[in-house]
Amino acid sequence: MPRIVRKRARTTVSSLLMAAVLGVATVVAGPSAVMAAEKVRIALPTKTYYPTIISETALRQGLFKKEGIDAELTVYRGGAEAFEAVAAGAADLTVGSTAIVAAGIKKGVNTKAVAGAGLGYRGWYLMVKPDSPLKSASELNGKKVGITSAGSATDILARWTQGDKKVKFTEVPLGGGGLIPNLLSGNVDAIVLYSPLSFKVLKEKSVRPLIDFGAEVPEHLSGVWIASDKLIGENPALIQKVNNALFGAMVWLKDKNNRQAAIKIISEIDEIPLPIAEATLDGDISYLSSTGEMTPELVQRGLDMAKLVGMKDIAPAAEIYTTKFKPVPTR
């Protein structure tokens, strides 16, 4: 069974030259090469994240193959590096925020969202220790709140909390691996945590939630599938096929008839126990878009969220997405 590749986002000149050589070799290899499945390279921001679950499910269920696609899945070290891979031509598609597309356009990186994916922050929470004296987010004035890094989704949600709850606290960048340890050791008073780790600690009762961001933050496009303008112009049929396979995987994961198999796949991909995988399916995956729909309102709300972390020089909503690739889920 094909597995996910993990590598750095940096692509060397020699590797690009080799790719070009291999491309020429394919052209001259004869009729058999012409019949080969068309290759698509999908850059995944991290391993334990919904784009990886969707893409790997499409691979395991043979949905890419049904579309005549040979899919290569590569896990990068974060959303920024995965986006850079698409910008550099080292990958064909990735998942990212509407804001990263809008900011990229202003810097000459021409990409567009080709389908909606995330519709908010299901499975994301503001959390404290079980014995914390804090009973609500409004009590966080002057406290310290752990986030992964500046400009990240955890940063966005921390700033949204300050605005919505009328509080002022200090954000402390800790990286993903440092959030829980620093909370439990008392180095910070609260943290912003994401799925599936959030579901794990909630089941263990080692934390207590103050805010369920999935329930409280207005629905918006928090994640979109992204392709370069070059690929959109030169090979729109490939993007359509990829969308069909990806959303075929979404439909499969959400189908109640596949529930136990879906839980098993999530458990294997994220390397988490079955109960946590079940919580991830119910509390996160089930809320993702099954249609890829993108509306001006949803796109604009996504950009408005990005402005919370100081992003100002961004392209307008109308320039960052296209609705020409309506998915027809592969069965």
User: Which CATH architecture does the domain made up of 5-120+220-319 adopt?
Assistant: 3-Layer(aba) Sandwich (3.40)
Residue 294 neighbours by CB distance under 10 Å: 25
Contact, 141 vs 168, CB < 8 A?
A: yes
**The token pair that represents 81 in the structure block:** 């590096």
pTM here is: 0.83
pLDDT tens digits, one per residue of 224-283:
999 999 999 999 999 999 999 999 999 999 999 999 999 999 999 999 999 999 999 999
List C-alpha distances in Å: 179 to 9, 10, 24, 176.
Answer: 25, 27, 48, 6
Say how far apart CA 55 and CA 61 lie, in whole Å.
10
Residue 150 neighbours by CB distance under 10 Å: 11
The mean pLDDT value of the chain amounts to 89
Confidence of residue 36 (pLDDT cuts 50, 70, 90): confident
Say how far apart CA 274 and CA 253 lie, in whole Å.
15
Reference 219, options 307, 79, 122, 322; nearest CA is: 122
Say how far apart CA 113 and CA 294 lie, in whole Å.
9
pLDDT recorded at residue 5: 53
Task: Give the residue with greater pLDDT, 177 vs 115.
Answer: 115
Residues 6 or more apart whose Cβ sits within 8 Å of residue 84: 9
Q: What region, left, alpha or beta, does residue 201 occupy, with left being phi > 0 and alpha being psi -120 to 50 degrees? A: alpha
**The token pair that represents 125 in the structure block:** 């929470």
Give how far the C-alpha of residue 285 lies from the chain's centroid of Cα atoms, to the nearest Å: 11
The amino acid present at 248, given as its one-letter code, is: G
5-14, 153-162, 185-194: least confidently modelled range: 5-14
pLDDT recorded at residue 80: 84
Residues 6 or more apart whose Cβ sits within 8 Å of residue 86: 43, 92, 93, 94, 111, 226, 227, 228
**Token pair 């080692």: residue:** 206
Contact, 196 vs 279, CB < 8 A?
A: yes
DSSP line for 30-43: -HHHHTSPEEEEEE
Q: Where in the chain is the domain with CATH 3.40.190.10?
A: 5-120+220-319, 125-216
For 142-202, what is the HEC assignment?
Answer: CCEEEECCCCCHHHHHHHHHHHHHCCCCEEEECCHHHHHHHHHCCCCCEEEECCCHHHHHH
User: Mean pLDDT throughout 9-34?
Assistant: 35
**The token pair that represents 133 in the structure block:** 């004296």
77-81, 167-171, 172-176: least confidently modelled range: 77-81
Q: Does the pLDDT at position 20 exceed 90? A: no
Give how far the C-alpha of residue 64 lies from the chain's centroid of Cα atoms, to the nearest Å: 19
Let me know if domain 125-216 sits in CATH 2.60.120.590: no
**Alpha helices for 29-178 (secondary structure H):** 31-34, 50-60, 63-66, 79-87, 98-106, 153-165
Confidence of residue 4 (pLDDT cuts 50, 70, 90): low
pLDDT recorded at residue 10: 37
Say how far apart CA 139 and CA 223 lie, in whole Å.
30
Q: Does the pLDDT at position 186 exceed 80? A: yes
